[in-house]
Amino acid sequence: MSLPVVAIVGRPNVGKSTIFNRLVRRRTAIVDNQPGVTRDRLYATCQWEEKSFILIDTGGYELDSKEELTQQMRDQTELAIEEADLVLFIMDAKEGPLDLDKDIIRILLKAGKKVIFVINKVDSPKRVVHEFYSLGVTFHSISAEHSLGISDLIDEMIKQFPCQGLPKETALDEVTRVAIIGRPNVGKSSLVNSILRKDRMLVTDIPGTTRDSVDSQLRFNKRQYTLVDTAGIRKKGKTKLALEKYSVITALKHLQSCDVALILVDAFQGIKNQDITIAGYAFEERIPCIIVVNKWDLIEKDNKTVGLFKEEIRYQLKYLPYAPIVFVSALTGLRVFSIFTHIEKLYDQYTTKVTTSELNKIIQKITEKNPPPTYRGRRIKFYYQTQISVKPPSFLFFLNYPEALHFSYERYLQNQLRNQLKIDNIPIKVFFKKRKNLKGRK
């Protein structure tokens, strides 16, 4: 099941971005700063009490302005509302309810969305906001700046979410879920149609034609697959800026529930910033991915073309050095079924299990080959290792000084472990924990 999407909406200067920043920094909020990963601060994946959700910050919502930039912001906000499972509508306690607030409330209620109405800038619990009762809605009073009422607000948000189901590693579904993600108009639906050999998806040259994700079932090489064609965005006819930004939302939602991601890029246009952003999310979520270069039939080629294109991809997506690259044409069917050879390999690696005894032997060899640096004159010792989950394979290390382990040595361990276990085309997770002292000994 994909993660719920929460959109923060309101007119300008009511504190939407302050609320966004406050929510993503609470508890175990996930805001990664991985090197080489472009992340737009408009989005964040957040976690609260074992519940995860995607949070979207939007620009100021103005209904009547004719300025181009304001219209683009309005378009983006409306896209966020359409995409969202829950809307936080923010109002300003210091300014009181305005006519624009009333107009936006009518729009939200007409759209049939779940809405939590929030009065921000209530800087004292004793402050009365009785004038907002005239709006005829129930609201929460908070101060994002002073963190008042934030915990209660998040608890109310969580109540509105559907059950998120079992974690991937305990799910009973044996079908391999493959999410097809990418910028609008890179050929996601065309690829699905080419694989299924029928017009399952509506295909046009208008970016954003796919309004919702569509699941298609397929059996290939005695394996069952679900292909998820994700929308570039959910509404067509919007501005180019909106199309580019909101293609990320769908990618985020479906990365959470897939086993393998196909990251489509346009061979004719090359790697764009939005491709880098979307691929960055796949990296952060530790999802195995295949970089699928579509529209390869449009490229004039010589014996150096493939090599140069791969070099450019590796340079632009340097954080995904392990991801296979496939050159296809959804239009002609060129090499589309070769993708499944890579999917099978990645899924088998993604579900790899290793016994504790075998793992400890491997780590012993790795650390003997290249011992970790000393810490304050003492050796860093690895006592015990165990695999704690799959999808992705995740490993827990017990050692004496986990806080002293340099990131470069951690990267060395990951690379060596992936090579030794022959899972070198997928990401893995490693965790380090201090072993408890036994009988007072270090």
Q: How far apart are CA 402 and CA 433, in angstroms?
A: 6
Please state, in angstroms and rounded to a whole number, the distance separating the CA atoms of residues 138 and 181: 38
pLDDT of residue 113: 86
Instruction: pLDDT band for 199, please (50, 70, 90 cuts).
Output: low
At 266 the pLDDT is 96
Same fold, 5-160 and 168-350: yes
Q: Is the pLDDT of residue 202 over 90?
A: no
- Assign 3-state DSSP to the chain and report helix, strand, coil percentages, each to 5: 35, 25, 40
Task: Tell me the per-residue pLDDT of 315-339, one tens digit each, with 9 for 90 and over.
Answer: 999 999 999 999 999 999 999 999 9
> What is the mean pLDDT of the segment spanning 16-35?
60
Predicted confidence (pLDDT) at residue 208 exceeds the cutoff of 60: no
Q: Is residue 428 over pLDDT 90?
A: yes
Task: Write down the pLDDT at residue 134.
Answer: 84
Asked if 178 contacts 188 with a C-beta cutoff of 8 angstroms, the reply is: no
Quick one: 89 exposed, middle or buried, by C-beta within 10 A (0-12, 13-18, 19+)? Answer: buried
Mean pLDDT for 423-439 is: 84
Helix (H, G, I), strand (E, B) or coil at 45: strand
The model's pLDDT over 366-387, given as tens digits with 9 standing for 90+, comes to 999 999 989 988 999 999 999 9
Q: Round to whole Å and give the CA distance between 188 and 170.
A: 29
Provide the CATH number for the domain formed by 5-160 in this structure.
3.40.50.300
Residue 194 · residue 333 · CB < 8 Å:
yes
211 vs 253, residue with greater confidence: 253
The pLDDT of residue 438 is above 50: no
> What does the pLDDT look like over 221-275, one tens digit per residue?
889 898 887 654 333 344 344 444 555 666 676 787 799 999 999 999 999 988 9
pLDDT single digits (tens) 44-76: 778 787 777 888 888 777 777 667 666 666 777
Mean pLDDT in residue range 109-122: 90
Whole-number pLDDT of residue 278: 86
What the block records as the tokens of 311 is 């070099």
Tokens of 172: 């009973």
The first and second tokens of residue 412, run together, are 């060395």
| CA–CA dist 78, 58 (Å, integer) | 9
Predicted local confidence at residue 321, as pLDDT: 93
Q: Which two tokens stand for residue 81?
A: 């509302």
Question: What mean pLDDT value characterizes the chain?
Answer: 81
- Calculate mean pLDDT across residues 118-129: 78
DSSP H helices in 25-87: 68-83
Q: What is the pLDDT of residue 239?
A: 39
Edge to edge, what strands does the sheet with 382-389 contain?
Answer: 382-389, 394-399, 429-434
pLDDT of residue 33: 33
SS3 at position 372 = coil
CB 6 within 8 A of CB 85: yes
Read off the pLDDT band of 435 (50, 70, 90): confident
CA angle at 319 for the pair 315 and 323, rounded to the nearest 5°: 90
Q: Which CATH number is correct for 356-434, 3.40.1160.10, 3.40.50.300, 3.40.50.920, 3.30.300.20?
A: 3.30.300.20
Residue boundaries of the structural domains of the chain: 5-160, 168-350, 356-434
CA-CA distances (angstroms) from residue 143 to 120, 320, 334, 384?
5, 41, 57, 47
Which pLDDT does position 172 carry in this prediction?
A: 39
Strands 214-220 and 176-182: unpaired
The architecture (CATH level 2) of 168-350 comes to 3-Layer(aba) Sandwich (3.40)
HSE (side-chain half, CA atoms, 13 Å) at 175: 16
For the whole model, what pTM was predicted? 0.65
pLDDT tens for each residue of 82-104: 778 899 999 999 888 888 889 88
Asked whether the beta carbons of 281 and 253 are under 8 A apart, the reply is no
pLDDT, one tens digit per residue, over 267-302 is: 999 999 889 988 988 898 899 999 999 999 999 999
Position 29 pLDDT exceeds 80: no
